Amino acid sequence: MLKRYDGTFAFQTDPGRVRINNEDQAKALINADGDVLLIVCDGMGGQNKGDFASKMAIDSISDSFRKAKTGIPLFFKKRNFERAVKLANSQIFDEADRNPVYTGMGTTVCAAMIVKNKIILINIGDSRAYLAVGDRMKRITSDQTYVNYLYRTGKISREETESRPDRHVLMNALGIFPSLSMDVNVIEYHGERILLCTDGLYNNVSEPEISAILATDERVDQKVVSLIGTANANGGSDNIGVAYWEALHD
């Protein structure tokens, strides 16, 4: 039997303590079918580019999610989700092509759609999604970075991925090319907490620290504030974007 999980969500971004501009975007919303969308984007391309690209992506994908046909099977929801992300890619690429001010802009996208007891995941770049149960966390996306490619092909160790100076070099982003490659997965959902975040969070807050904050009895919005506060207390080296969901259990 398909089970629908009721729950609550929160989202927030912060510029951090080093960057002047905030190129991160985050959002969480629910549609007429009761499906939940969580999404974070980390813009790239410099001043007036990264923030514009990430906002275009969030607005376009959210709009498609709200307007999507209701009462359709999971297969079609997944197809429509992929189309929504491809549409956002085309809009960003076309705007950059038309307007020299935005040449080279792009953004990461990490998005999770909760459809009853399934999660449809779409990932482009190095923002991340996690499932959390108790004090345990499981990452459910794979960074599309050069160092992760080297690790997966056996050229470097897991430890080396954390210290290499080129660890932030992306292999993929939304809006850079007219065609788009993205990781798409459908996984089982059993009421776990779901965290999506940009690298400004996970580079400044360890997984044990994140897990400890998520395991508290605070409200979801307080947990998001605590995550961002901890990232800033630990240096705040980048913009921070967080979208977070908790199911309500009987």
Is residue 178 within 8 A of residue 93, CB to CB? The reply is yes
d(CA 183, CA 49) in angstroms, rounded, equals 24
pLDDT attached to residue 153: 74
Condensed to tens digits (0 to 9), the pLDDT of residues 72-85 reads 999 999 999 999 99
How sure is the predictor about 1, in pLDDT bands with cuts at 50, 70 and 90?
A: low
Is 7-243 a domain of CATH 3.60.40.10? yes
Condensed to tens digits (0 to 9), the pLDDT of residues 25-71 reads 999 999 999 999 999 999 997 766 999 999 999 999 999 999 999 99
Q: Find the angle CA(204)-CA(197)-CA(151) to the nearest 5 degrees.
A: 75
Condensed to tens digits (0 to 9), the pLDDT of residues 156-177 reads 776 667 667 666 778 899 999 9
pLDDT attached to residue 166: 67
pLDDT attached to residue 122: 98
Query: What is the sign of the dihedral through the CA atoms of 54, 44, 197 and 145?
Result: positive
d(CA 224, CA 244) in angstroms, rounded, equals 7
